[in-house]
Structure 1
Amino acid sequence: MRRRAGAWLVLVFIFLGGLVERSYPCTIVMVSKNGLHLAGNNEDWHDLNTWIWFYPPAPGEYGRVCWGHGSGFSVAQGGMNDQGLFVDGNGLSETGWTEDPSKPTFHGPVLDHLLAHCATVEEALKFFEENNVPPLARGKIPIADAAGNSAVVEWGRGKVQLLRRTGHYQISTNFVQSNFDKPEDYPCLRYKAVEQMVTASPSVSLDLVRATLAMTHVEMINPTTYSTICDLGSRRVYLYNFHNFEDPFVIDLTEKLAKGRQEYPIPSLFKIETAAARAYKQQANRRSGFDVFYQMIDRQGLDYFVKRYYEIKGQLRTAHPIDISESEMIRLGKRFLSDGRMAEGIRVLELNAAEDPRSCQARAELGEAYERAGNKEKAVAAYEEAVRLSPDDAELARKLEFLRSLKKE
C-alpha cells in the first residue's frame, strides 16, 4: 500500500461515502453461530481501480490484509488481521459529530490503525472510548472478531454509540441505527432484506453470507466493485470481483503474510471479466453531461437543452455516449447558479429531481437553489422532501428548521 501524508483525510471523503452524494449503498453483515464466525462486505463505489494489500507482522503491529481503491489514495477501506479481527465502514450523511475536549483526537487512517493494533472487538471499542475519531462525522464502523463478537460504532443522539451484537447476527448499512427507537422504523430496505434472510436460515454458513451480499449488490452509478467474506476463525478471505459471486478468489491469510508485503489490483486476480464489468466500463467512458450540456445551453438555449435531455433520458443509458447521471446534473446546475444564471441552474436541478423521486441529494440541491433565488416556500418544500428521504441527516434537519424560521418572519 502506498502511504501518503494526510491520506486519512481522503479516507473520510471516499470510504465514508464522499461529500457529494447522499446515496451510500454498502452492506455489511456479521454472523456467528456454532463456532463459525463470518463477516461479509459489499463495497459500492464508482472507482474500478480496486486493490488488495498484504502487510506481514511488524514490531508493534499485527499482520493484515486490507482492501480499497487506488485512485488518488491508498487507505484501507476494510480488512482482516492475523488475529481474526475484521473492520470495515459504511458512509453516512452528516451525523453531527463533535469532539470531546477531554479526549485526544486521532489523526490517521482509522481502519488500518485498528487492524494493526487491535486483536478483539473490545480492544477496538476501547480505542473509540479513549479518542475522538473524526470519520464518525460521516460514517460508522462495523467490527467483528474470531471469538464471535461484533459491534458497530457510530455517532447518534449526540454521542459515540457502541452497538454490541446481542443475537447471532449484526447488520450495518447506511443509516444511524441508534437514532431509531424501534427496529421496525429502520429506513433501509437492504437492512430489512438481509435480516429477513438471516433470521429465516436455521444455520450460519458461507453460502448464507454470500446470498445476502448477492441480494444487496448494486449496479449503475455506484456499483458493487468488490465483495469480501472473512472466515475469522480460519483467517480465510473469499474475495469477489464486481459482484460475480460464482468466482471467489480464496486467500489463506497466514500463508499469504508469510510471503512478505504484496499488493495486487483486485481485477488481476480473476481470469474472467464479467459482462457487467465491461458494460460499466463503457458507461464510465461516456462524455461528461456537464461539458456537453453547458455548451448546449450557452449556444442553443434552455428549451433546446430540455428537449435534448428528455430524448437522451428515453434511450438506454449504458448505450448512450453522454452521461446524464445525478452527479453530472447537480454539477451543471450548481455551475449555472455560481455564474448567477439562476433560471438555468434551477431548471437543470428541477429536471434532475424529477428524474429520481427517491433521491435525497437531488432535493437538497434543489432546495438550496430555491433558497438562493429567494423562493423560501419552494426551498422549504424541497428540504422537507429531502428530510423525509433521509430522516437521520442532522445537517438537512437543521437547514430545514432554519428555513422554516425565516418563512415565519
Structure 2
Amino acid sequence: MRQKISKISLVLILLLTHTNFTNACTIFMANDSKHVWIGNNEDESVNMKYRFWYFKKSKKNYGYMSWSELHPTYESIMYQYPQGGLNEYGLFMDYTAIDEIPVIRNFQKTDREKEVINDILRTCKTVDEALRYINGFNLIKLSAAQLFIGDATGDYATVHGNYIVRKTTPCFALTNYSINNNHTQHCWRRETAYHYLQKEKKFDLTDITQILSKTAQKPQPGDDIATNYSMAIDLKKQKIYLYLKRDYTRKIVISLSKQLKKNMFFEDLGNQLK
C-alpha cells in the first residue's frame, strides 16, 4: 500500500507542479490607506475548471478558503495543491509563473516539498508571520513561480525559492517575470496595471474592476490561454467580487465570513465557466 501511495504522490507532484505554475496571471494591490484591495486575473487554458475550498475555524486553525484547478482524476484532493487563498484575517496568497530559476538549498534548513499555502493561511495573520514560517524551509518546488503574499494592513511580499522582495510602495503589480534585484522588463499587463494604479488616489470596486478588465487576456489564434476568472478582493472585509470569463458586467459576491458559517467544504466554478 505504501508503494502504491508513493507512486500516486509522485505522479501528482509531477503533474500538479507543472499545471500550477504554467499559467499566466496578473496580481496587484491597490492601497489608499483606507482601503486595501487585491486584483487577481487567473489566466490559463480556456477549458480549465476550478474549485473553491472552505475550511472552518477551529481551536488550532484560522478559517480560510483556497482555490485550485479541478483535475478530473484527483478532484477530491486538489485542495492540497492550491493556486491561492484568503483567510479570515485578510491574508491573501497567489502565484504567478516565471522562467525557472533553480533553487539553491541552505543546508541548515529543511527541504519543503509540500505546498505552503494551506499551512500559512491556517496559522498566520500577516505577511510578517507568513515570512517567518517560510524562513524555516528551502522552498525547493518554488523555482518556476513567485508567490505573492498580501495582508489587510497593506503589507506585501513576493517569494521565490531563492529570494524575498518586500514592500516598497503602497501599490504594486506582479506578472510573469522575476522581480529580484529590482529587475523589470516589458509586460503590457504589469505596465497597464501600474498606469491605472498611479492615476487614482482612492480606490473602490469600480477602479479595481477596471484594472482587471484592462489587464485581462483574451484567447488568441493558436493560443488558448485567457483570463478565466478575475477577483477583486477587499482584504479588510474579506470579501471577494468574482467575475467569470472576462464578463465584468456581472459579479458573484463571496463573503468569507458567511461562507465559513455554511456547511460547505467546496464549490465548483466549472458549470459557471461554460
**TM-score interval (norm. to shorter):** 0.7 to 0.9
- Of 157, 174, 178, the residue aligned with 1:176 is 178
Deviation at 1:5, TM superposition (A): 4.7
| C-alpha contact (below 8 Å) 2:113/2:141 kept by paired residues | no
Deviation digits for residues 106-137 of structure 1, max 9, x if unmatched? 22122222212211000111122221112321
Q: Which 5+ residue runs of structure 1 have no aligned equivalent?
A: 18-23, 278-409
Other-structure match for 2:19: 14
1:44/1:222 contact within 8 Å kept: yes
Match of 2:121 in 1: 115
SS at match of 1:102: coil
Alignment partners' CA distance in 1, 2:118 and 2:60: 13
SS in 1 for 2:141: helix
- When residues 115 and 9 of structure 1 are mapped into structure 2, their CA distance, relative to the original with a 3 A threshold, is farther
Q: Secondary structure at the match of 1:136?
A: coil
| TM-score, normalised via structure 1 length | 0.59
- In the aligned structure 1, how far is the partner of 2:13 from the partner of 2:260? 24
2:243 paired with 1:235: no
Give the partner amino acid of 1:191: R
- The 3 A distance-change label for structure 1 pair 201 and 50 is same
What CA distance in whole angstroms lies between the structure 2 residues aligned with 1:179 and 1:10? 31
Q: Taking structure 1 as reference, are residues 170 and 14 closer, same or farther at Cα in structure 2, changes over 3 Å only?
A: same
Listed one character per residue, the Cα deviations across residues 382-401 of structure 1 (whole Å, up to 9, x for unaligned) are xxxxxxxxxxxxxxxxxxxx
Structure with higher Rg: it is 1
| Post-superposition CA distance 1:165-196 (Å, at most 9, x none) | 22221111100011545xxx423221111111
Output aligned runs, 1:60-71, within 5 Å: 60-71=60-71
Equivalent residue in structure 1 for 2:88, among 82, 88, 91: 82
Q: CA–CA distance in 2 between the matches of 1:263 and 1:8?
A: 22
Q: Is the 8 A contact 2:57 2:64 kept in 1?
A: yes
Do the aligned partners of 1:217 and 1:223 also contact (CA within 8 Å) in 2? Answer: yes
Assess, with a 3 A threshold, how the Cα gap between structure 1 residues 153 and 44 changes in structure 2: closer, same or farther.
Answer: same
Higher relative contact order, chain-length normalized (CA < 8 Å, sep 6+):
2
Aligned 8 A contact 1:175 1:187 in 2:
no
TM-score relative to the length of structure 2: 0.86
Whether 1:202 aligns to 2:201 is: yes
Gaps of 5+ in 2: 1-7
Matched residue type, 2:168: T
- Amino-acid identity (%): 25
Does the 8 Å CA contact 2:88/2:238 hold for their aligned counterparts? yes
Show the 5 A alignment for 1:46-195: 46=45, 47-71=47-71, 72-73=73-74, 74=78, 75-155=81-161, 160-181=162-183, 185-195=184-194
8 Å CA contact 1:29–1:209 kept in 2: the answer is no
Shift of 1:36: 0.7
Shift of 1:82: 0.9
CA–CA separation in structure 2 for the residues paired with 1:117 and 1:8: 24
Deviations 1:125-168 (A, max 9, x none): 1122221112321110111111221111125xxxx322222222
- Structure 1 residues 34, 179: closer, same or farther in 2, change over 3 A? closer
Residues 276-355 of structure 1 mapped to structure 2, 5 A cutoff? none
Moved over 3 A (4+): 4-11
Q: Residues 177 and 117 (structure 1 numbering): CA distance in 2 closer, same or farther, change over 3 Å?
A: same
* In 1: Cα distance, 2:146 partner to 2:121 partner: 16
Aligned residues: 255
Residue in 2 that maps onto 1:215: 214
In structure 1, C-alpha distance between the alignment counterparts of 2:165 and 2:182, rounded to whole Å: 13
The 1-side partners of 2:15 and 2:181 are apart by 27
